């Protein structure tokens, strides 16, 4: 009896770690920036904190958490190195990844937003929101990247449109799952918190080439003391990486009714 029970549990575990087609579920985690491209930088006195180091630490912790769940993980960079935006998704496509997650940190120097803190998660789409546009412009401006002309980018976007429909709703589901999980893990009262900055859309070049559900998470503001404390402490990093890994697991188990309910209530701004 005991043996049968163990066998059934083992079998269920095996199903859990595989997709419907029997392939292992594979996630590509993309720590934003790297090398000479530091991303946003917080400087105060002797303190200097760069987005590229925070995203790498978070990505490595997320990878550990996912591996512990039997999910295969690849990082687009494991050191402080420069990786062009197209190479990041090209790697995910090459590996046939099921999910692509780009991790970034936000910041603001706008005096009206000095209190800004919290999490926002993006999917690739056009937007009319000025702040989302501004953020996308910042994240797209990578140093020494072989840049494409605006016309080339438009062509790329049109081509992407052809593939977008298939991935858009799944990207939204992934984004909603990650947003909800990260906000819950980093807020005392998740339902009423200003830390929930929502699921949004913008034209992030790093998501452009992805052939799978893909999202970009702005995991916090380097300009916010609270967010800095979270992303630089081992406890905060563990909380956040667990939250992202749990959200991926929830996304993977598509038939989870709770997840579907949350998805139906999740708005993209
Ligand atoms: Zn960034």
* pLDDT tens digits, 76-97: 999 999 999 989 999 999 999 9
User: How many whole angstroms from 33 Cα to the centroid of ligand 1?
Assistant: 6
| pLDDT beneath 70: ranges in the chain | 1-22, 110-114, 143-166, 190-192, 255-264
User: How many whole angstroms from 205 Cα to the centroid of ligand 1?
Assistant: 11
Domains, the chain, with CATH or none = 14-265 (3.40.630.40)
pLDDT at site 151: 58
Helices (H), the chain: 2-16, 51-68, 85-95, 130-140, 150-186, 205-208, 225-232, 234-252, 257-264
User: How many whole angstroms from 258 Cα to the centroid of ligand 1?
Assistant: 31
User: How many whole angstroms from 135 Cα to the centroid of ligand 1?
Assistant: 9
User: How many whole angstroms from 125 Cα to the centroid of ligand 1?
Assistant: 17
pLDDT at site 155: 61
Separation between Cα atoms, residue 100 and residue 245, nearest integer Å: 13
- Dump the DSSP string for 82-97: ---HHHHHHHHHHHT-
pLDDT at site 72: 96
The gap from C-alpha 197 to its chain's centroid, in whole angstroms, comes to: 14
User: How many whole angstroms from 19 Cα to the centroid of ligand 1?
Assistant: 31
At residue 38, what are phi and psi to the nearest 5 degrees? -85, -10
Both tokens of 236, joined, read 């905060």
Is the pTM here over 0.75, yes or no?
yes
Residues forming beta bridges with residue 103, ordered by sequence position: 31, 217
pLDDT at site 152: 62
At residue 165, what are phi and psi to the nearest 5 degrees? -50, -45
User: How many whole angstroms from 229 Cα to the centroid of ligand 1?
Assistant: 18
95: exposed, middle or buried (Cβ count in 10 Å: 0-12, 13-18, 19+): middle
User: How many whole angstroms from 233 Cα to the centroid of ligand 1?
Assistant: 20
User: How many whole angstroms from 222 Cα to the centroid of ligand 1?
Assistant: 11
User: How many whole angstroms from 51 Cα to the centroid of ligand 1?
Assistant: 7
Separation between Cα atoms, residue 26 and residue 91, nearest integer Å: 12
pLDDT at site 112: 57
Q: How many CA atoms lie within 13 A of 169 on its CB side?
A: 6
User: How many whole angstroms from 179 Cα to the centroid of ligand 1?
Assistant: 17
């Amino acid at each position: 009896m005991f043996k049968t029970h163990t066998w059934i549990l083992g079998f269920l575990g095996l199903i859990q770690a595989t997709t419907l087609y029997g392939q292992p579920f594979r996630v590509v985690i993309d720590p934003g920036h790297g090398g000479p491209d530091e991303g946003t930088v917080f400087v105060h006195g002797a303190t200097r904190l760069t987005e590229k180091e925070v995203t790498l630490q978070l990505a490595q912790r997320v990878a550990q958490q996912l591996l512990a769940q039997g999910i295969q993980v690849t990082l687009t960079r494991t050191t402080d190195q420069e990786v062009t935006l197209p190479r990041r998704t090209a790697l995910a496509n090459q590996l046939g990844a099921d999910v692509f997650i780009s991790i970034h940190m936000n910041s603001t120097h706008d005096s009206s937003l000095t209190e800004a803190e919290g999490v926002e998660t993006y999917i690739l789409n056009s937007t009319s929101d000025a702040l989302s546009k501004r953020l996308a412009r910042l994240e797209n401006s990578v140093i020494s990247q072989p840049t494409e002309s605006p016309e080339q980018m438009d062509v790329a976007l049109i081509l992407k449109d052809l593939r977008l429909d298939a991935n858009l709703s799944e990207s939204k589901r992934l984004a909603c799952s990650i947003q909800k999980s990260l906000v819950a893990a980093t807020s005392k009262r998740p339902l009423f918190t200003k830390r929930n900055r929502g699921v949004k859309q913008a034209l992030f070049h790093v998501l452009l080439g992805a052939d799978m559900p893909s999202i970009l998470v702005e995991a916090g503001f380097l300009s916010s003391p609270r967010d800095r404390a979270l992303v630089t402490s081992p406890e905060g990093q563990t909380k956040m990486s667990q939250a992202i890994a749990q959200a991926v697991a929830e996304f993977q188990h598509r038939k989870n009714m709770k997840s579907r309910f949350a998805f139906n209530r999740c708005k993209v701004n």
